[in-house]
Every structure is written in structure tokens, then in C-alpha cells.
Amino acid sequence: MKRLILIVLWMMPLAAHAQLVEGLAGASGSTVGPDGALYVTEGAVGRISRIDPQTGAMTTFAEGLPPSRIGIGGA
């Protein structure tokens, strides 16, 4: 007799949150790039910011985009 074992893992915070950076303007989406950095869309100001997860340093990846909801990697 074969048994099917289904394991469901729920990713829940362990009552601890860490703030990586401050000052994002209308962040509406994010993705992790191939370099391991976090890329965050800031639709309110038409910018995409790059955040280094090791240092927390935030730099501008792209700017001058039309202010709106800017999506990365999807519709």
C-alpha cells in the first residue's frame, strides 16, 4: 500500500519584523533580481529603487518613469 504524505508549510512571521530601509515613496511592488538585490517600484514618484540586502543601501535603478502604479515582472 502506498501512502501519500502531504505537507503544507505556512510561512508566518515569528513575531519579529525588520525594516530594511526608510523613505520609499508609494512602494507598489518588488522583486529580487539575479544579483540578490531587492528592486522596489515607487509609483508615486516614477522610480525603481535597488536595495542591497547586505548593507541596506538604497540606490536609484531607474527614474523619470510616469508616476503611476509601475509593475515589475507582471501585469
Q: What is the CA radius of gyration of the chain?
A: 17
DSSP 59: E
Residue pLDDT, tens place only, 35-65: 999 998 888 888 999 999 888 899 999 999 8
Closest alpha carbon to 61 in 51, 72, 53, 73? 51
Is the Cα torsion angle 35, 37, 72, 74 positive or negative in sign?
positive
Residue 6 pLDDT level (bands cut at 50, 70, 90): very low
* pTM (2 d.p.): 0.64
